[in-house]
């Protein structure tokens, strides 16, 4: 049944009940450039691995790379509140979504003495 057919019959598209496996293993969809897709397919063929296997290995390797930084506390810092003087704690490890806002807020800061570009 197409989406249009489902809508015409008064059903919402995409509202089917998930089975136990699907509920705990959601579908992941992403866009990639043609060259990235070609590289992925070549890696699949070379290793004889599935895309899930490649994703799991990539996650494991990335987590291994950042583990020392997390353990050392990088990505966590504090500043004093300009109102009460108590510390404000920022944890970019637990809340990476704060990164772009902090980068924008701190974008005007420069080294002292002034650095050369």
24 belongs to a structural domain: no
Predicted confidence at residue 2, as pLDDT, reads: 42
pLDDT tens column, 15-42: 678 888 888 888 888 899 999 999 999 9
Tell me, yes or no, whether 66 and 93 share the same domain. Answer: no
Q: In whole angstroms, what is the distance from residue 8 CA to residue 2 CA?
A: 10
Q: What is the pLDDT of residues 64-95, one digit of tens each?
A: 887 777 777 777 878 788 788 788 888 887 88
- Count other Cβ atoms within 10 Å, centred on residue 8: 10
Kindly state whether residue 9 falls inside one of the protein's structural domains: no
Residue range(s) defining the domain that contains residue 41? 30-71
């Amino acid at each position: 049944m197409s989406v249009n057919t489902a809508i015409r019959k008064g059903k919402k598209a995409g509202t089917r009940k998930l089975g136990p496996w699907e509920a705990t293993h959601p579908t992941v969809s992403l866009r990639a450039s043609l060259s990235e897709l070609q590289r992925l397919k070549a890696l699949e063929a070379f290793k004889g691995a599935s895309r899930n296997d490649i994703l799991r290995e990539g996650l494991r390797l990335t987590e291994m790379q950042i583990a020392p930084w997390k353990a050392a506390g990088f990505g966590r810092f504090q500043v004093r509140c300009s109102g009460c003087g108590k510390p404000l704690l920022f944890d970019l490890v637990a809340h990476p979504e704060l990164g772009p806002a902090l980068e924008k807020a701190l974008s005007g800061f420069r080294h002292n003495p002034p650095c050369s570009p």
